Amino acid sequence: MSVGLDARRFIREKRDGGRHRPEEITAFVRSFVAGDLPDYQASAWLMAAFLRGLDEEETDALTRALLHSGRVFDWSTLGTPSADKHSTGGVGDKVSLVLAPLVAACGVLVPMVSGRGLGHTGGTLDKLESIPGLRTTLAAEAMRSQLESIGVVMVGQGPEITPGDGRLYALRDVTSTVEFEPFIVSSIVSKKVAEGARAIAYDVKCGNGAFMKTRADASHLAHRLVTTTRALGPAAAALVTDMSQPLGRAAGNALEVRESVELLRGKGPADVRALTLELAAIMLRLAGVEATHEAALARATRALDDGAAWERFLAMVRAQGGDPASVERADGLPRAPVVVKVPASAAGVVRAVDTFTLGSLVVAIGGGRRSQEDAIDPRVGIVFERRIGDLVARGEPLAEMHLAAPDEAAVVNASACFEIGGATAPPSLVLERVD
């Protein structure tokens, strides 16, 4: 066991409500990563911390220890400011696919390290991999070369980045200690800082389709993400955004890539466009290429509308081994063989949407995974035709199911996710700014 850590005393201290010194937390993480601390003792500490809590200083110390458990990238020698974004996940959230090349087209490096879908939310890597041939695993030198040449790379978390977080997360998953704010903060921030971005925008989702169900919980998490990131050096800001209904029209991997292409080519849903531009403006301002939010927003809007972001996306696809023709052609991406309309059971206004269940339904039809080993069918998903506040007649389509095979139960379940009633106002997209 690493020198300086008495594991039993360390566990007992937190079990009894005590506070850890930063050097104790560092010794704990080092021992765990080195394999000197057994899983059963690490699990005992996770539960003790979950029940007794970690204060801000302890959370900062855990974040720093996880950050330095692996390689910390530094792109400053490339001579260009860098920025990234992290979303806490939602149904239909394909913002990263447009945002990363858009910000790169505005002169900021985007070294985006993303994850896979697990549970009811989709993952950026799974969406990217629906593009034939595209690789999401690159060596460090290949990442550097691509950043230098086109300014953007979108890859998965390799073993070099925060291995301590990877091992601890696996234990959190099996010990029911995932939903704990200090662990969430330390996990997210350590990975984002390790990837080398010097400005980070956070999109914290709130609502029935998000992990944070209440506005208060989402706001608190957003503030903790920002303050913890700033304590480690990078600039940071956050938005709290609505996830009481799906973002955009499509949920499902190839469907979301297709919708992202529409946005990059001047079309696509207004809500995804608005949120993408807001986050781009934050990243550009934090990176220092524009002094005000208004100037940054104008710059991002020009790059999206004049095709610069689209050209950067094509360059990224090509650089990572993908087939550019697959996204340039309307029929280039995988398509489901069965497409079925989801009819409204009554006439009226869409008052509410069970977004969590819709996301879970995408998983159930093959568009996501219940465990890391599950295979994903990139073709399947749901295209939404009505949103909260929209009028619908009985029998008119609420959505469109894209299925690998006929599935009447899935259609019935999707219809039940829409509450039809009297008039209601659409929810606001951005609920709060933390800056």
Q: Which residue has 């550009």 as its token pair?
A: 284
The domain defined by 338-421 carries CATH number 3.30.479.30? no
Q: Work out the number of other CB atoms within 10 angstroms of the CB of residue 2.
A: 16
Of the candidates 390, 401, 377, the one whose C-alpha atom is nearest the C-alpha of residue 425 is 390
pLDDT in tens, 20-73: 999 999 999 999 999 999 999 999 999 999 999 999 999 999 999 999 999 999
The contacts of residue 222 (CB under 8 Å, 6+ apart) are 202, 204, 238, 239, 240, 432, 434
Cα 158-161-166 angle, rounded to 5 deg? 80
Which of 175, 134, 161, 173 is CA-nearest to residue 51?
175
CA 204 from chain center: how many Å? 9
Average pLDDT over residues 198-214: 94
What's the pLDDT score for residue 156?
A: 87
> What is the per-residue pLDDT for 116?
74
pLDDT bracket for residue 89 (50, 70, 90): confident
pLDDT given for residue 366 in this prediction: 92
CA distance 395 to 130: 32
How far apart are the C-alpha atoms of 254 and 247, rounded to whole Å?
15
Which helix (DSSP H) or strand (DSSP E) does residue 432 occupy? strand 430-434
Q: Which amino acid is at 103?
A: V
Element of type H or E holding 101: helix 95-105
Q: What is the pLDDT of residue 1?
A: 42
Q: Which residue's structure tokens are 């219809």? A: 415
- Per DSSP, the residues of 347-375 read SEEEEEE-HHHHHHHHIIIIIS-SSTT--
Helix (H, G, I), strand (E, B) or coil at 93: coil
Question: What is the spatial distance between Cα 404 and Cα 367, in angstroms, rounded to a whole number?
Answer: 10
pLDDT digits (tens, 9 = 90+) for 101-127: 999 999 999 999 887 766 677 789 999
Eight-state DSSP code of residue 24: H
Condensed to tens digits (0 to 9), the pLDDT of residues 120-166 reads: 777 899 999 999 999 999 998 999 999 999 999 999 887 888 999 98
pLDDT higher than 80, residue 4: no
> What average pLDDT does the segment 222-243 reach?
96
**Edge-first strand listing for the sheet containing 418-421:** 391-392, 348-353, 418-421
Q: Which sequence positions are flagged as catalytic?
A: 86, 165, 172, 187, 191
Q: What is the mean pLDDT of the chain?
A: 94
pTM of the model: 0.93
- Identify the residue with better confidence: 183 or 160: 183
Contact 199, 283 (CB under 8 A): yes
For 85, the 3-state DSSP assignment is strand
Between CA 139 and CA 145 the distance in angstroms is 10
pLDDT, residue 60, reads 94
DSSP string, 192-252: HHHTT-SEEEEEEEESTTSSS-SHHHHHHHHHHHHHHHHHTS-EEEEEEEE-SS-SSSEES
Q: Binning pLDDT at 50, 70 and 90, where does residue 418 land?
A: very high
Are 244 and 209 in contact by the 8 Å Cβ rule? The answer is: yes
Tens of pLDDT, residues 243-259: 999 999 999 999 999 99
What integer is the mean pLDDT of 325-336?
A: 93
CATH for 7-53?
Answer: 1.20.970.10
Average pLDDT, integer, range 411-418: 97
Other CB atoms within a 10 A radius of the CB of residue 232 amount to 18
- Phi then psi for residue 426, to 5 deg, are -65, 145
Question: What's the CATH fold of domain 76-328?
Answer: Pyrimidine Nucleoside Phosphorylase; Chain A, domain 2 (3.40.1030)
* Axis crossing angle, helix 253-264 with helix 308-319, rounded to the nearest 10: 140
Give the residue extent of every domain in the chain: 7-53, 76-328, 338-421
Q: Does 372 have pLDDT greater than 90?
A: no
**Is 70 exceeded by the pLDDT of residue 342?**
yes
In the chain, the percentage of residues whose pLDDT exceeds 70 is 97
Looking at residues 173-200, what average pLDDT do you find? 92
pLDDT at res. 278: 98
